[in-house]
């Protein structure tokens, strides 16, 4: 997640009290909550009490007198760095103290009272699942409620996640982000005040070997099957005419497992596709379509006078990556910070091992850059779990003093219709040149210093995976 405090606001106190400065905390560029310095100081004190001062990043000190505009801006920058550092720390960022603070602040900022409401969650095939939740229910609560409605077993809940998406005019989903433990899904989707935004249930892992766990269960099998059929229809999974014929034949026989086994062999099975964007590879301002999956980022592109091509960047060969955001001021503007700014420009840049001893930065400019970064991190996490001999199978965590709410009425996953005829206009792709051939990781020189450590996501998979894994 990308935390930022891009602006401050001067607000009047309650009942006409003295004015105060409010800090707008954005998550992935969208306002999450509005908090005062005293609230963030209270969070810091609570974290220090629980984890000790040595674990925490530096917190901007109190001031005895009113702040000047320059000091307000300096404090804003310090608080932004503090929030980013806490979130990125594995211990602090996953703590209930930190996450509950953000949930309460989100609910207070959006002025949503705690009450029972109906919430619509979509499956990948567009099927609607209506659940009853509290406005104050966190992401895990809502995921449990969806699982209960569908009768998905407790031990398979961890294989699925909730995603915030924007539904485009053609019905396709543009993925905004994976819903996190620090937010309230009902508040997150309704605060955007647009019918375009939806919550979608989708599998949360990348390695198709984990499909076996999910396919053991009837509901899990149906969810995977519905998602795969939908991905094929959207063109996310690349299918030849003959493969399409075989898949449709298996559909007609209602051979769902066999259908999935064949689908697993197809290019881009289980990948998540992003909207068209721009990259600086293989040349500057190159229009591309990015997909994430199978421990790689795939870039589909068309060079002038050439057919559709694909370049694949393996996550195990990315030394590090970073997301940067910039808000360009209008030409000739002298606006103060946070005022009169244009649209946020997001970039994902990763340092890639192109050949032995040669690292190169590749930059993708996309509004979904943060979502791409989240995908990279989750692929690395999954690789490291597998490398250590662990498993992603997660048992449902029951809260102390709480019980899992089971739905009074359960809903079956609808079987999708038969695949339509393949799109005759869809082109086949060829791989880019051998620039991206496998190489050794050993003997690399010292890391480059193009980006500061605080901005960069270091890749443990790069350091921990050997030649045999490339």
The burial of 136, by beta-carbon neighbours within 10 Å (0-12 exposed, 13-18 middle, 19 or more buried), is given as middle
CB atoms within 10 A of CB 195: 7
Indicate where the chain has its CATH 1.20.80.60 domain(s).
206-269
pLDDT computed for residue 243 by the predictor: 95
> Of 141, 138, 158, which Cα lies nearest the Cα of 149?
141
> Of 11, 10, 2, which Cα lies nearest the Cα of 80?
2
Average pLDDT of span 277-281: 94
List the 173-178 sheet strands across, edge first. 128-134, 116-122, 197-203, 160-167, 173-178
Indicate where the chain has its CATH 2.30.29.30 domain(s).
271-325+344-400
pLDDT computed for residue 339 by the predictor: 41
Average pLDDT of span 255-283: 95
Question: pLDDT digits over 389-407, tens only?
Answer: 777 664 334 443 444 454 5
Looking at every residue in the chain, the average pLDDT score rounds to 82
pLDDT-derived band at 72 (thresholds 50, 70, 90) equals confident
| Residue 4 or 340, more confident | 4
| Residue 248 or 387, more confident | 248
Percent of the chain exceeding pLDDT 90 equals 57
As a whole number of angstroms, the distance between CA 169 and CA 403 comes to 40
What's 238's DSSP letter?
Answer: B
| Residue 74 or 410, more confident | 74
Answer yes or no: are the C-beta atoms of 441 and 353 closer than 8 Å. Answer: yes
Element housing 214 (H / E): helix 211-215
Would the pLDDT of 64 be above 70? yes
Question: pLDDT digits over 202-215, tens only?
Answer: 999 999 999 999 99
pLDDT computed for residue 28 by the predictor: 74
As a whole number of angstroms, the distance between CA 433 and CA 362 comes to 16
Would the pLDDT of 173 be above 50? yes
As a whole number of angstroms, the distance between CA 165 and CA 168 comes to 9
pLDDT-derived band at 425 (thresholds 50, 70, 90) equals low
What does the block give as tokens for 91? 């211990």
Domain spanning 112-203 has what CATH number? Answer: 3.10.20.90
pLDDT computed for residue 388 by the predictor: 82
Average pLDDT of span 345-374: 92
Of 28-32, 173-177, 233-237, 359-363, the least confident: 28-32
| Residue 106 or 425, more confident | 106
Helices (H) then strands (E): counts for the chain: 11, 18
CB neighbours of 61 closer than 8 A, spacing ≥ 6? none
In DSSP terms, which residues pair with 318 in a beta bridge? Answer: 352
As a whole number of angstroms, the distance between CA 381 and CA 4 comes to 24
Would the pLDDT of 461 be above 80? no
Phi, psi of 102 (to 5 degrees): -70, -35
pLDDT computed for residue 332 by the predictor: 52
> Of 178, 168, 167, 269, which Cα lies nearest the Cα of 228?
269
Of 64-78, 135-149, 151-165, 285-299, the least confident: 64-78
What does the block give as tokens for 325? 């955001």
pLDDT-derived band at 419 (thresholds 50, 70, 90) equals confident
pLDDT computed for residue 2 by the predictor: 56
Indicate where the chain has its CATH 3.30.1520.10 domain(s).
1-108
CATH topology of domain 271-325+344-400: PH-domain like (2.30.29)
In DSSP terms, which residues pair with 363 in a beta bridge? Answer: 349
Report the top-level CATH class of 1-108: alpha beta
Would the pLDDT of 244 be above 90? yes
For the packed helices 69-88 and 37-51, what is the interaxial angle rounded to 10 degrees?
40
Annotate 20-47 with b (16+ C-beta within 10 A) or e (fewer): eebbbbbbbbebbbbbebebbeebbeeb
pLDDT computed for residue 342 by the predictor: 52
pLDDT-derived band at 352 (thresholds 50, 70, 90) equals very high
Answer yes or no: are the C-beta atoms of 201 and 125 closer than 8 Å. Answer: no
Indicate where the chain has its CATH 3.10.20.90 domain(s).
112-203
CB neighbours of 349 closer than 8 A, spacing ≥ 6? 321, 322, 323, 324, 361, 362, 363, 364, 451
CB atoms within 10 A of CB 270: 23
pLDDT computed for residue 205 by the predictor: 94
pLDDT-derived band at 450 (thresholds 50, 70, 90) equals very low
CATH topology of domain 206-269: Acyl-CoA Binding Protein (1.20.80)
Strand 197-203 relative to strand 116-122, pairing: parallel
> Which of helix, strand or coil describes residue 11?
strand
Cα distances (angstroms) measured from residue 306 to each of 297, 309, 419: 21, 8, 30
As a whole number of angstroms, the distance between CA 180 and CA 185 comes to 9
165: number of CA atoms within 13 Å, CB side?
Answer: 26
pLDDT computed for residue 178 by the predictor: 92
Ramachandran quadrant class, 465 (left: phi over 0; alpha: psi -120 to 50; beta: rest): beta
């Amino acid at each position: 997640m990308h935390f930022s405090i891009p602006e401050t606001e001067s607000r009047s106190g309650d009942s006409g009290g003295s004015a105060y400065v409010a800090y707008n905390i954005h998550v992935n560029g969208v306002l999450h909550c509005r908090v005062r310095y005293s609230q963030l100081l209270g969070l810091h004190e609570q974290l220090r009490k629980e984890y000790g001062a040595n674990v925490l990043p530096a917190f901007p000190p109190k001031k005895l007198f009113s702040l000047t505009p320059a000091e307000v801006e300096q404090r804003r920058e310090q608080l932004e760095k503090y929030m980013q550092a806490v979130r990125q720390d594995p211990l602090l960022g996953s703590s209930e103290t930190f996450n509950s603070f953000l949930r309460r602040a989100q609910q207070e900022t959006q002025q949503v009272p705690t009450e029972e409401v109906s919430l619509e969650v979509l499956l990948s095939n567009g099927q609607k699942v209506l659940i009853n939740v509290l406005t104050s229910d966190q992401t895990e609560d809502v995921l449990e409620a969806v699982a209960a409605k569908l009768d998905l077993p407790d031990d398979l809940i961890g294989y699925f996640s909730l995603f915030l998406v924007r539904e485009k005019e053609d019905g396709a989903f543009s993925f905004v982000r994976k819903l996190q433990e620090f937010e309230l899904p009902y508040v997150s989707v309704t605060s955007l005040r647009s019918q375009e935004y939806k919550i979608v249930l989708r599998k949360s892992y990348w390695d198709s070997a984990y499909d076996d766990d999910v396919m053991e269960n009837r509901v899990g099998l149906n969810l995977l099957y519905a998602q795969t059929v939908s991905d094929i229809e959207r063109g996310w999974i690349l299918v030849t005419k003959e493969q399409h014929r075989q898949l449709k034949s298996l559909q007609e026989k209602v051979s769902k497992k066999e259908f999935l086994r064949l689908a697993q062999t197809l290019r881009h099975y289980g990948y998540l596709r992003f909207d068209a964007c721009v990259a600086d590879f293989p040349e500057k301002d190159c229009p591309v379509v990015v997909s994430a999956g199978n421990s790689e980022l795939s870039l589909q592109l068309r060079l002038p006078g050439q057919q559709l091509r694909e370049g694949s960047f393996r996550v195990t060969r990315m030394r590090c990556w970073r997301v940067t955001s910039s808000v360009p001021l209008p030409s000739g503007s002298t606006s103060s910070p946070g005022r009169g700014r244009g649209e946020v420009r997001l970039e994902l840049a990763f340092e890639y091992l192109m050949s032995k001893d040669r690292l190169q930065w590749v930059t993708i400019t996309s509004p979904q850059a943060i979502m791409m970064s989240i995908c990279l991190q989750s692929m690395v996490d999954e690789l490291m779990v597998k490398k250590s001999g662990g498993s992603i199978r997660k048992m449902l965590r029951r809260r102390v003093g709480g019980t899992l709410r089971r739905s009074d009425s359960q809903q079956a996953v609808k079987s999708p219709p038969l695949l339509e005829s393949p799109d005759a206009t869809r082109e086949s792709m060829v791989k880019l040149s051998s620039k991206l051939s496998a190489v050794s990781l050993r003997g690399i020189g010292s890391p480059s210093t193009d980006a500061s450590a605080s901005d960069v996501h270091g890749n443990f998979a790069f350091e921990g995976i050997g030649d045999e894994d490339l």
